[in-house]
């Protein structure tokens, strides 16, 4: 018997701090698999954000820099410009990238920096206890919107992928989900393309992952994966927005 599925080498063999049913673990593994696939583990520099993704340096068997809240694309810019031969990626949540870090991501994309950004959108501030994020859906109950997000006073959920698609500096922009195995297989392909964009020196690549947060959504893991399918995907459509397969 041959082992056909095992832990990727780029993922350190320690228990994760993620809640049961959280999709962060799956996305971590997909990134680690891609690092193994392209053989860039020895020259990978990850840039971690603030939020549930903050322990990137514990989980990845690669070098990781911790950036101030929202500033991961700015730190990654510096890392990549100083060491252009290294593979540089950032891994950020929606409370980091879409809220406090909006300026950094827009300008990094607009400058066409040679970095890969992995954006995990779970429509809520996860680590701090479930406050409203810019990506929170209309009517979604959070600790800061106990009666549901009101679009009149709180604005609309921000669509980061569509926003970055419009910028002339971005090369590859896509949105994926990992709520079922079909979407997960598509997500793998998109992530591979995002890695290739940087490895081939084509420019800035961005992949948004729709993720479940069962704890802060106050749902079971099963209900949370269903919510991704029924509520999030209709508003945040999946697919490649810019720079598909060569």
Partner 1 sequence: MAMIKFRRERCKGCGLCVLACPKNLLMVSSKINRSGYPVAKIDDMKSCTGCALCAEMCPDVVITVFK
For residues 24 and 18, give the distance between their C-alpha atoms in angstroms, rounded to a whole number.
7
Q: Does 181 bind partner 1 (CB under 8 A)?
A: yes
Cβ within 8 Å of residue 217, ≥6 positions away:
124, 130, 223, 224, 227
Q: Does 193 bind partner 1 (CB under 8 A)?
A: no
Q: Does 192 bind partner 1 (CB under 8 A)?
A: no
Instruction: Indicate the Cα dihedral angle 209, 214, 219, 223, nearest 10°.
Output: 40
Contact 209, 174 (CB under 8 A): no
The site for partner 1, by CB under 8 A, has a size of 30
Q: Among 4, 85, 147, 168, which residue sits at the site for partner 1 (rule: CB under 8 A)?
A: 4
CB of 197 to partner 1, least distance (A): 24
Which lies closer to partner 1 via its Cβ, residue 5 or residue 147?
A: 5
Q: Does 53 bind partner 1 (CB under 8 A)?
A: no
| Sole window of 3-11, 118-126, 149-157, 238-246 interacting with partner 1 (rule: CB under 8 A) | 3-11
Q: Does 222 bind partner 1 (CB under 8 A)?
A: yes
Contact 143, 131 (CB under 8 A): yes
Q: Does 9 bind partner 1 (CB under 8 A)?
A: no
Q: Among 186, 221, 229, 231, which residue sits at the site for partner 1 (rule: CB under 8 A)?
A: 221
Contact 106, 196 (CB under 8 A): no
Which residues of the shown chain bind partner 1 in the complex (CB under 8 A)?
A: 1-7, 11, 15-16, 18-26, 29, 178, 180-181, 184-185, 214, 220-222, 225
């Amino acid at each position: 018997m041959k082992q056909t599925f095992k832990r990727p080498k780029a993922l350190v063999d320690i228990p994760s701090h993620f809640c049961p049913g959280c999709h962060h673990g799956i996305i971590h593994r997909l990134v680690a698999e891609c690092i193994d696939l392209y053989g860039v583990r020895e020259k990978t520099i990850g840039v971690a954000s603030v939020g549930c993704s903050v322990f990137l340096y514990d989980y990845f068997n690669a070098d990781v820099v911790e950036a101030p809240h929202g500033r991961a694309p700015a730190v990654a810019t510096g890392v990549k410009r100083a060491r252009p031969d290294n593979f540089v990626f950032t891994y950020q949540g929606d409370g980091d990238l879409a809220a406090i870090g909006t300026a950094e991501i827009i300008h990094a994309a607009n400058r066409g920096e040679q970095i890969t950004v992995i954006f995990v959108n779970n429509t809520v501030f996860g680590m701090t206890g479930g406050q409203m994020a810019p990506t929170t859906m209309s009517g979604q109950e959070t600790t800061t919107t106990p009666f549901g997000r009101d679009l009149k006073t709180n604005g609309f959920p921000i669509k980061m992928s569509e926003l970055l698609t419009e910028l002339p500096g971005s090369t590859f922009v896509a949105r994926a989900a990992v709520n079922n195995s079909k979407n997960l297989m598509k997500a793998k392909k998109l992530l591979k393309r995002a890695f290739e964009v940087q490895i081939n020196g084509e420019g800035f690549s961005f992949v948004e992952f729709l993720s479940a947060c069962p704890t802060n959504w106050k749902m079971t893991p099963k209900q949370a994966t269903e919510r991704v399918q029924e509520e999030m995907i209709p508003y945040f459509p999946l697919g490649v927005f810019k720079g598909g397969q060569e």
